Structure 1
Amino acid sequence: MPRLTRLTPDTAVGASRDLLADLVSRHGHIGDMVSTMAHSPAVLGGYLQLSRAMGRAKLDRRTGERISIAVQARQGCGLCLDAHISAARALGVDEDEIERARAGTSADPATAAIIALALQIYREPSSITDEQVDALREHGYSDRAMADVVGIVALNILTGAFNLLAGLTPDSATGA
């Protein structure tokens, strides 16, 4: 059962009303997380900006979705985990790789290394070493790609933590 109520352009106020009205006019609908985030225009606006920015990430989407699956499997947001598994499937990630991502790895050593970095950023970023960064470069990852991992992890922390606070679960969701 959701803990926070959903807002609409009619029930939201101020900046949140404007943000929701814009989203509805462009997309026709808004999902539970976004409509609930509207309680805080700062959180909603920040989420929308970071989400758009991460759409320009250097990492390919298949890798980004596997990182998101690994993070959400640890954070415990079922709504986010389901969404990222669905997105990974739509991008052609096979079930074995989805399961490996849930476990925090990949059959591909380069993908396993970037997922490991993401999980370290999530758990203990102060423990990242120069040797790890050098190894990622040897796998072909640029500084930009590694920096993008921080953004992907941050976006997942924001959405997962928000959904957990709000009580949004796969069973409570009414829209994308």
Structure 2
Amino acid sequence: MPRLARLTPDTAVGASRDLLAELASRHGPLGDMVSTMAHSPAVLGGYLQLSRAMGRAKLDRGTSERISIALQVLQGCRLCLDAHVSAARARGVDEEEIERARSGTSADPAIAAIIALALQIYRAPTSITDAQITALREHGYSDRAIADVVGVVTLNVLTGAFNLLAGLTPESGTDV
């Protein structure tokens, strides 16, 4: 059961009302997470800005979705995990690779290395080494793509933590 109520453009106030109204006019019905985030215009605005910015990330979306799957398995947000599994499938990631992502790896050594970096950023960022960054470059990742991993991790921490706090689950309503 959700812990926080959904808001709508009619029930939200101030900046949240404006953000929800704009989103509804551009995208139609609003998902539970966005509607619930509207309790804090700072959180909702930050999420929207980071989400838009990460849409311009250098990492390809299939890799980004695999990273997100690995992170959400650790974080425990089923709503996010389901959304990222669906997005990975839509981008052509096969079921074996989705299962590998759930385990924090990939059959592709380059993707396995970038997933490992994301998990390390999540768990213990002080343990990242120069050798790891060099290895990622040798796999073909640019500095921009490597830096984008921090954004993917941050977006997943934000959405997963928010959904867990708010009590949003796949059973509690609509999508992210």
TM-score band, normalised by the shorter chain?
Answer: over 0.9
Letter of the aligned partner of 1:87 in structure 2? A
Q: Which residue in the other structure is 2:97 paired with?
A: 97
Equivalence for 1:150: 150
Partner of 1:67: 67
CA contact (8 A) 2:33 2:175 kept: no
Counterpart of 1:116, as a letter, is: A
3-state SS of paired residue (1:3):
coil
Structure 1 position 142, deviation (Å): 0.6
Partner of 1:84: 84
SS at match of 1:8: coil
Distance 2:143 2:107 in 1: 23
Equivalence for 1:29: 29
Deviations 1:21-78 (A, max 9, x none): 0000001111000000000000000000000000000000000000000000000000
For residue 175 of structure 1, report the CA deviation from its aligned partner. Answer: 4.2
1:131-170 superposed matches below 5 A: 131-170=131-170
Alignment of 1:9-48 (within 5 A): 9-48=9-48
5+ residue gaps, structure 1: none
Other structure's SS at 1:171 match: helix
The Cα shift of 1:173 comes to 2.0
- Determine the structure 2 residue equivalent to 1:5: 5
**Partners of 1:109 and 1:163 in 2: CA distance:** 32
Secondary structure of the structure 2 residue equivalent to 1:92:
coil
Q: Which runs of 4+ in 1 moved over 6 A?
A: none
| Residue identity (%) | 84
CA 1:110–1:159 in 2, change beyond 3 Å: closer, same or farther? same
1:10 positional shift: 0.3
Hey, what does 2:172 align to over in structure 1?
172
CA displacement 1:57-115 (0-9 Å, x = unmatched): 00000000000000000000000000000000011100000000000000000000000
RMSD: 0.6
Cα deviation 1:120-175 (Å, max 9, x = unaligned): 00001000000000000000001000000000000000000000000000010224
What is the rounded CA distance, in whole Å, between the counterparts of 1:55 and 1:175 in structure 2?
18
CA distance in 2, matches of 1:87, 1:174: 15
> What's the TM-score once normalised by structure 2's chain length?
0.99
